[in-house]
Amino acid sequence: MDSDKAKSRIKELTNIINRHNYNYYVLADPKISDHEFDNLMEELILLERKYPELSDDNSPTKRVGGQVTKDFPTVKHKYPMLSLGNTYNRKDLTDFDNRIKKAIGNSYEYVCELKFDGVAIGLVYKNAKLVRAVTRGDGTQGDEVTNNVKTIKSIPLNLFQDNFDNNIVDEFEARGEIFMPHKSFIGLNNEKIKNNEQPFANPRNAAAGSLKIQESRIVSSRNLDCYIFSIIGEKLPYDNHYDNLKLAKKWGFKTSEFTKICKNIDEIFEYIDYWEKNRNDLDFDIDGVVIKINSIKQQEQLGYTSKSPRWAISYKFETEQTTTKLLDIKYQVGRTGAITPVAVLQPVKLSGTTVKRASLYNADKIEELNLHKNDTVKVEKGGEIIPKIVGIDQELREKNSDKIIYATHCPECGTELIRKAGESLHYCPNKNNCPPQILGKIEHFISRKAMNIESLGQGRTEILIKNGIIKNIADLYDLSFDKLYGLEKTITNVLDGKTKKISFKEKTVNNILKAVENSKSVPFERVLYALGIRYVGETVAKILAQHFKNIDNLIYCNYDELINVPEIGEKIADSIISFFKDEQNIEIINHLKNKGLQFEIEKELLEKKNNLNGMTFVVSGVFNNYSRQGIKDVIENNGGKVSSSISSKTNYLIAGNNMGPEKRKKAESLNIPIISERELDNLIKEN
């Protein structure tokens, strides 16, 4: 196939796949089998691999992920993302209706919509293409999460042109709510529990957490979904909200089939009544109903307060409540040493499930509730897996029952708990010897992005700690076949009560020992990340490794030196200093050094390469594979220079997403080549 033919086939495949994707994810009406769909996708992937220059940023192949977002830049919203006024009672709604009547007379209608419980998102489209996705943030500016949003199948990357008039909307913003359907949520949490990870409290947290994962491939696997609830722009096709939404569906957006026009306040109450009763039938969480004035002209007439529009209001559902008896309070010790109090309750039915435990959050909450032993408590469930105690029935309190006194010592290791000023949680300070904290450290150490000894995961680490075989990360390097072979334990799943036997068979033991051995060649930056210094994530570890070159330089550096490293702030600096002050940590590092782990940057990286010698670069925009600092480091480490403005001395302008138009103009006028980050990588390799 020649390049022209490939180009037209790629275009054709893109259109076909987009249409089938829409049929499946938006209309829930697939026209071909999954297998046929996969074949089309496979053909497109192969063609794009063969002709990378023809691959489009918004190709449907981007939905499977693969891009990495190092940090999520803050972006200002073109139209502020206001939140709506909230109400929990119908009197407020009647007042709202009266205010509208007074302001614009008797001729108006409402649109009622479900209030999805997820993460609000602003999707910017230019010339029918998705160019940017930004979270609400503080309403004025949010985080750009475009790569991750591209993996959500119900969000169109290219709009269907046959329904799209370029003259009307060459640029507009679609506002919507990204959420995690119940089915995806339950699957994800089961997986997390299986892997001994903390499950998400509710689908909203799961959706929010997923959007901020650096690897879009993982985001893609989370099966997020998105409903669009408004279209904003200068020249919208219709003069009312409802028709614009209907047209948006034809462009490719998923809009809710439950959106309804209501002529008056009684019809609004009917809509609310219906959904208050039937919301448990939906496969996603809603927490109320949104009521908007339909006419855009009337919306403009009504205008805005400083915080929210005057033409819309949200009605929140009451959450379901019941009462039961408090039997006990247990204190859970988390992997960071944080203590969470959990109420043990007399089992009681609530929204279709039996509730045995409730969250109590922290000591302040218990104090605020003035909780006594054996109290009768009011329990509420609001989309959370673990319900919460919201109040006490004072009249049913037993005579002379004692007030609950918060735990003073760690239930796992007996150490006295501490609570730092300004923090809500108590901590067990015994970082190195408290069993759940040891487990947390080791689990982090062996994780894939750290030392990659995952064959030791899935409950195995816990067995080793319980049997006293390992007490810290250094002990992993003293493991032997004889110490491991034959160990076993039965583990019960918290959610479904199913049991699973974990054992150390010959093959497993050999795999573990091999992974431990292999980990000795893991590069310094990952070893540094694996140590689990608070606030030192992958990116910070990389920066520190490149700056300090070896562990001793880092151990003996002082606060001022640290704080002068780009991207290292006070919080990180404090945490690093206190980590290396702890003699036990130094002892562990010395032990690891003796075992042959990498504690200095590789020689090859140490000697600066000169592939870009004598070249000057200007960097503009946001990059997929580099942070702003990262791309500068790469250029400088290869002998190049980075300049902030374009002149005749500039050799290349490296263009990222959303590059400034002035820079492009200047570069073009001086005939300076504009290259992508990929072309920069090639330049480094070639020279």
Of the two residues 415 and 458, which places its CB atom closer to Zn ion in the complex? 415
Smallest separation (angstroms) from Zn ion to the CB of 334: 10
CA-based nearest residue to 508, from 478, 530, 488: 488
Of the two residues 428 and 554, which places its CB atom closer to Zn ion in the complex? 428
369-408 residues in contact with Zn ion (CB under 5 A) are: none
- What sign does the CA torsion over 252, 258, 263, 264 have? negative
Smallest separation (angstroms) from Zn ion to the CB of 429: 8
Q: 190-207 b/e with 16+ CB inside 10 Å = b? A: eeeeeebeebbebbbbbb
Q: Look at residue 572 and give its three-state secondary structure.
A: helix
**String marking each residue 417-456 x if it binds Zn ion according to CB under 5 A:** -----------x-x---x----------------------
Q: 364-403 b/e with 16+ CB inside 10 Å = b? A: eebeebebbbebbbbbbbbebbbbbbeebeeeeeeeeeee
Of the two residues 265 and 410, which places its CB atom closer to Zn ion in the complex? 410
CA-based nearest residue to 533, from 413, 420, 450: 450
CA Rg, the chain, in Å? Answer: 29
Q: Can 115 be counted among the known catalytic residues? A: yes
Quote the CA–CA distance of 314 and 590 in Å, as a whole number.
Answer: 59
How many chain residues are in contact with Zn ion, going by CB under 5 A? 7
Smallest separation (angstroms) from Zn ion to the CB of 338: 11
Quote the CA–CA distance of 320 and 280 in Å, as a whole number.
Answer: 11
Q: Are 473 and 516 in contact (CB under 8 A)?
A: no
Distances (CA, A) of 227 to 119, 162, 230, 285, 401: 11, 22, 9, 12, 50
Of the two residues 414 and 537, which places its CB atom closer to Zn ion in the complex? 414
Angle at CA of residue 338, ends 401 and 422, nearest 5°: 85
Smallest separation (angstroms) from Zn ion to the CB of 415: 5
DSSP state of 102: H
Q: What is the dihedral of CA 347, 351, 352, 358, to 10 degrees?
A: -30
Q: 652-682 b/e with 16+ CB inside 10 Å = b? A: bbbbbbebeeebbebbeeeebebbebeebee
Smallest separation (angstroms) from Zn ion to the CB of 440: 11
First to last CA, the chain: 31
Of the two residues 392 and 410, which places its CB atom closer to Zn ion in the complex? 410
Quote the CA–CA distance of 432 and 74 in Å, as a whole number.
Answer: 37
Of the two residues 30 and 435, which places its CB atom closer to Zn ion in the complex? 435
Smallest separation (angstroms) from Zn ion to the CB of 363: 16
Q: Does 413 bind Zn ion (CB under 5 A)?
A: yes
Q: Which listed residue (7, 31, 62, 115) is catalytic?
A: 115
Smallest separation (angstroms) from Zn ion to the CB of 434: 3
Smallest separation (angstroms) from Zn ion to the CB of 413: 3
Of the two residues 338 and 515, which places its CB atom closer to Zn ion in the complex? 338
Q: Applying CB under 5 A, which part among 51-59, 414-422, 537-545, 573-581 lies near Zn ion? A: 414-422
Helix or strand (DSSP H, E) at 359: strand 353-359
Among 145, 290, 355, 410, binds Zn ion (CB under 5 A): 410
Structure tokens at 242: 């409802």
Smallest separation (angstroms) from Zn ion to the CB of 588: 18
Q: Applying CB under 5 A, which part among 151-159, 371-379, 412-420, 535-543 lies near Zn ion? A: 412-420
Structure tokens at 647: 């002149």
Of the two residues 434 and 654, which places its CB atom closer to Zn ion in the complex? 434
**String marking each residue 566-595 x if it binds Zn ion according to CB under 5 A:** ------------------------------
What number of other Cβ atoms are within 10 A of residue 16's Cβ? 16
Structure tokens at 379: 């329990």
Of the two residues 104 and 329, which places its CB atom closer to Zn ion in the complex? 329
Q: Which residues are catalytic?
A: 115
The residues binding Zn ion (CB under 5 A) are 410, 412-413, 415, 428, 430, 434
